Structure 1
Amino acid sequence: MTAVRTLMSSASRLAMVGALLFLGGCTVGPDWHEPTPALPLAFSPPVGEAATSRMDAAAADPEWWTIFGDAELSSLERRVASMNLDVAEATTRVAQSRAERRMVGADQYPSASANASYARERASPNGVLGLLGTTQPQSAATIANGGPGFGPTSLPGSSGSPAFDLWQYGFDASWELDLWGRVRRAVEASSAEVEATADMRRGVLVSALAETARDYLQLRGVQAQIAITQQNLDIATHSLSLTKLRFSNGATTNLDVANAAAQVSAIQAGLPALRKQEAQLINALSFLLGAPPRALATELAAPKPIPPVPPRIPVGLPSELARQRPDIRSAEARLHEATANTGVAVADFYPRVVLGGSFDIQALQFSGLGSWASRQYGIGPSISLPIFEGGRLHGALELRKAQQKQAAIVYQRTVLQAWHEVDDALTAYNAAQNQRSQLLETVRQSRIALATAQSQYVEGAVDFLNVLSVQNQLLSVQRAQTQADTDTDLALASLYKALGGGWQSEFPVEAETERKSDIETGRAPASETLGELAANGWQR
């Protein structure tokens, strides 16, 4: 019979363990399903007359700025990924979210702690020890050696219960059985938070890359404006010399000389504002690279032509937006997080089972700590079941469900906004090209008109006011044409930003190497070491 009972007891334990393992595989709450955004199969052609540079369905290059064929721009873009302070800050946020996920994930495993203590204690004979009366008084030494009589009558007279030493050491361990998947859902939510934070960092990188391109293209545009102004200043100066010569020969009046001098001064007056814009844009690029003001002045001072746009621009397919746009990826991760948090709220309605255990050595004398007889232990499960929470659990569940609905709406809105931005950027790029084409012809005709007016003025066929009018018109259309060239490049940069251009699954290895080089040479903050760089997850 004893053997049978033992066998039945073992079978019961195995059945209980099997049931717990089976329940451990359960996960309550809604499961995550990746959403499928409603996007067209191809982008719609831009509004207006088709321009020369058109979109192509080929996949867009993450390093889209290389289509401009400008080595200086490519160099700046490579450096900004490793030196931009906004990107560095976003990287620390990724490290924080990963640390939080590690903290949440610790609940999946048992926890254990060791302890040791010593205390000099005295129990009150008028307290609960009054329920433990003795038959005869004992001395303090007897009680300290573990003898009987520990109670209110332990000592005669008013001395009461004696003081004693209590030595103890041991360890405790506990482990919550994740029967309903509460911890797993929490880890899932925390992992989704890491994904969202990582995509936010990508968004910061995309914005920094686009801003670098915009500032650089604007800089080249301003430098082109300066060159045009200088050219027109040379023309006006030549006209002034010609007018003075004609005045000295009696062929004209002092009015023409004054008008010519005023034209020279008016053109010169536009240069300081352009120089200011040039300096501000160089400083803006320096800031994007985490450098002090004027750090790039020598590197960028030499003017270069405004980069031309290619005849074909690869934009990919609309379905790729969900994978390339960091804001869409982040919104999707937030929806995943909200879904997992709903599962955590559902699991809170179910019982929690915690396996706990402790083992201690306790003795009234220090010498007794080495005795096996001084051991004490306890092991067993504990179960807690919420019965009445005043509506807290129901409120938490409704909150999580509402947050999940909100995250779904945010995701839908983000996808729709991305679609609108791409469509608007395509239209803006097409319109900028058409405007530039028209202005190129206007500039060509204005140059012919100025040469004709100057020739007729020398021959005395027209007065100097005609020359001034045509010259002002040429200066105006040249500036407009240069601005149109710049706007076309800026529209292309905005288009690739709308497409999520610059997004990469990992940060560029070359950029990481440059960042490490900056740290080693002291150009990066001294508090950041190579070990900290790796710990902060510079590469995902």
Structure 2
Amino acid sequence: MKRIAWVVGCLVLSIGGCAISPAPPASPAEGVAIQGLPLRWWEGFQDPALDRLVTLALDNNLDLKSAIQRIREQRALRRQSSSALFPILRGTGSAEASHNASDGADQSYLYGVDLTWEIDLFGRLRAQTRAAEANMQATAADYQALRVSLVADVISTYLRYRLAREEETIAQQAADNQQQTANITRIRFKGGTASGFDVERLEAQVNITRATIPAAREQAESSRYGLAYLLNRDQTEIDSILAQAVTPKQPLMPDVTALMALPATSLRNRPDVYATELRLQASTAELDAAKALRYPQLTLGALVGFEQGSGTPAWSISGQVFQPLVNFGQIRAAIEASDARQQQAWLTYQAALLQALREVRSALASYGQGMERQQLLALATHSAANARALARRQYEAGTVSLIEVLDAERVYFDARLDQVQATTDVLLKWTEIFRTLGLSPPA
């Protein structure tokens, strides 16, 4: 009876065992919008082709698929760790043969089941399970962070593709207009009212402008190949989507002042920051597990079986206690190393929060400057268009020289390029704002 009472007492201790520190506090939920901003924020561009590209990327990107396998791996490790809290039941069998002069040969066979169970008196196994759980959740947060980056990369690549196509169109239009002026000048040269120098200068300008077209096409092709890689799709499928593209609209900007005033703690939900917090929790649990090695480990064992032939039942029950005595500082060194890793994780978490805040504020400030530049260039393009039209009319009337016409054409061409680049830059900065906020729909 005393032996049974001792075993029951050990089981009670294992159920209510004394962990060294409590479980870490719950982390913020994943996928919560900040300041009411939409998680599918790219739909504000009102471009169905872009929406389709993002959806395909989230469904097919190879890096995302690899990240899913990393989550699967961590889930298995978590199950492996938590299974250590439960008994291990194994089938067992043995055979023994002996011989002596008096009794002759003797053979015996035993088969049955064997049970071993490490009782988690001081929370080492539970701490290891908490660490495995936190590492699994951190890997899931890494996956969400990768989704955020992927969405931003797809949108940025698409916007650069659109920019390259617009630059090609502008260059082609400019070259066509310059060619018209060159044709007029050639007619005037034949009539004796223009010089051959004027004709050659205009032809040179036409070819200089046309030379920018291959560069724009090269950029468009590079972006097209980039989209095919990000989406893990054949380029012909990408082309069919791009053929349906429309000019992305500029979404309405939320309250910049409110976003600029965000405290660092409000960015805890950003997936990469959340992952560092979870790894801090994992390192804390690993430190607990290391500290628990200083205390005794209790293992219970039991065997139930039968002897072959006689059918006699056989059983045994045992308990083993292991207490470290002399290990030449091995456990102390393990604790110190775990403590150092926890401090590293804590510093990494703080740095991640501050980095996230810096990126958000920098992106917002950059967006504001980009908007101002876009507005000024829109005014400049309007004035340059008026000046160009006036110069062409006056040149045809013979009241201004070719130099004034060429200068007006160049200013207008440059202004249009600058304007479309500034517009794209604003959309890229808008994309960067949402990337730094870490907004993306959960998987």
Q: TM-score over 0.5 for the alignment?
A: yes
Identical residues among aligned pairs (%): 28
Find the partner of 1:325 among 270, 276, 285: 270
What number of residue pairs does the alignment pair up?
436
Bigger mean CA deviation after superposition, 340-349 or 75-84: 75-84
* Alpha carbons of structure 1 residues 503 and 398: separation in structure 2 relative to 1, 3 Å: farther
Aligned equivalents of 1:23 and 1:109: distance in 2? 11
Alignment pair present for 1:393 and 2:393:
no
Q: Partner residue of 2:416?
A: 478
**SS of corresponding position for 1:172:** strand
What TM-score do you get using the length of structure 2 for normalisation? 0.92
| Distance of aligned partners of 1:13 and 1:376 in 2 relative to their CA distance in 1, 3 Å threshold | closer
Q: Is the 8 A contact 2:264 2:357 kept in 1?
A: no
The residue type equivalent to 2:21 in the other structure is P
Alpha-carbon contact 1:117-1:169 (below 8 Å) kept: yes
Counterpart pick for 2:292 among 347, 364, 381: 347
Alignment of 1:410-421 (within 5 A): 410-421=348-359
- The structure 1 residue matched to 2:340, chosen from 381, 402, 414, is 402
Aligned to 1:272: 214
Partner of 1:151: none
CA-CA distance at 1:292 after TM superposition: 3.2
Q: What's the CA shift for 1:339?
A: 0.6
Q: For structure 1, which segment, 420-429 or 209-218, has the greater mean C-alpha deviation from structure 2 after superposition? A: 209-218
Find the partner of 1:254 among 187, 193, 196.
196
Q: Secondary structure at the match of 2:362?
A: helix
Query: What are the within-5 Å matches in structure 2 for residues 302-341 of structure 1?
Result: 304-312=246-254, 318=263, 321-341=266-286
Mapping 1:76-95, distance limit 5 Å: 76-95=53-72
1:384 equivalent to 2:322? Answer yes
Q: CA deviation at 1:225?
A: 1.1
CA-based RMSD: 2.4
Q: Which amino acid aligns with 1:342?
A: L
1:445-479 Cα distance to aligned partner (Å, 9 max, x none):
11111111111211222221221111111111111
Mapped to 2, the partners of 1:489 and 1:400 lie a distance apart of 45
Residue number in structure 1 paired with 2:169: 227
Deviation readout 1:309-356 (Å, 9 max, x if unpaired):
325468865467434311111001000001111110111111111110
Distance 2:142 2:310 in 1: 59
Asked if residue 17 in structure 1 is aligned to residue 8 in structure 2, the reply is: yes
Cα distance, 1:30 vs. partner? 3.2
CA distance in 1, matches of 2:20, 2:265: 30
Q: Deviations over 1:199-250 (max 9, x none)?
A: 0010111110110111111111111111111211221111111111211221
Q: How much does 1:32 deviate?
A: 4.4
Contact 2:85 2:126 in 1 (8 A): yes
Segments of structure 2 that go 5 or more residues without pairing to the other structure are: none
CA distance, structure 1, for counterparts of residue 311 and residue 254 of structure 2: 84
Selected match of 1:65 from 42, 55, 62: 42
Name the CA shift for 1:342/1:312 in 2 (closer, same or farther; >3 Å): closer
User: Matches of 2:18 and 2:56 in 1, distance apart?
Assistant: 46
Question: Using the alignment, how far apart are the partners of 2:152 and 2:371 within structure 1?
Answer: 20
Once the 2 structures are TM-superposed, how far is the Cα of residue 17 of structure 1 from its aligned partner? Answer: 2.4
Contact 1:457–1:463 under 8 Å retained in 2: yes
1:358, 1:378 within 8 Å by CA — same for their partners in 2? yes
Offset of residue 28 of structure 1: 3.4
CA contact (8 A) 1:30 1:342 kept: no
CA distance in 2, matches of 1:96, 1:273: 45
Instruction: Tell me the CA shift for residue 306 of structure 1.
Output: 4.2
What does residue range 121-140 of structure 1 map to in structure 2 within 5 Å?
137-138=101-102
Indicate yes or no: 2:82 matched with 1:143.
Answer: no
Q: Which residue of 1 aligns with 2:21?
A: 30
Structure 1 residue 424 corresponds to structure 2 residue 362: yes
In structure 1, distance between residues paired with 2:17 and 2:10: 11
Residues 417-460 of structure 1: per-residue CA shift (max 9 Å, x gap): 00000000000110110000110111111111111111121122
Per the TM alignment, residue 390 of structure 1 is displaced from its structure 2 partner at its CA by 1.1
Partner secondary structure for residue 251 of structure 1: coil
Q: Distance in 2 between matches of 1:344 and 1:482?
A: 59
**SS of aligned partner of 1:27:** coil
User: Is residue 108 from structure 1 mapped to residue 47 from structure 2 by the alignment?
Assistant: no
- Relative distance call for 1:32 and 1:172 in structure 2 (3 A) is closer
1:448 aligns with 2:386: yes
In the TM superposition, what is the alpha-carbon distance from 1:168 to its structure 2 partner?
3.8
The residue identity in structure 1 corresponding to 2:50 is: L
Q: Secondary structure at the match of 1:324?
A: coil
Cα shift at 1:305: 2.0
Code of the residue aligned with 1:209 in structure 2: it is V
For 2:124 and 2:375, the matched residues in 1 are separated by 63
Residue pair 1:25, 1:181 contacting (<8 A) in 2 also: no
Q: CA deviation at 1:57?
A: 7.9
Partner of 1:435: 373
Q: Which runs of 5+ in 1 are unaligned?
A: 1-8, 38-55, 124-133, 147-164, 363-368, 508-540
* Distance (Å, rounded) in 1 between the aligned partners of 2:245 and 2:377: 22
What does residue 311 of structure 2 align with? Answer: 372
Name the SS for the 2:84 alignment partner.
helix
Structure number with the higher helix fraction is 2
Larger radius of gyration: 1
Q: 1:210–1:493: 8 Å Cα contact kept in structure 2?
A: yes
Aligned to 1:420, the other structure's residue is in SS state helix
Superposed counterparts of 1:276-295, under 5 Å = 276-295=218-237
- 1:354 alignment partner, SS class: strand
Question: Is the contact between residue 26 and residue 181 of structure 1 (CA under 8 Å) also seen in structure 2?
Answer: yes
Q: Structure 2: how far apart are the matches of 1:192 and 1:185?
A: 11
- 1:304–1:232 CA distance, 2 compared to 1 (3 A): farther
Partners in 1 of 2:22 and 2:290 — Cα distance?
Answer: 13
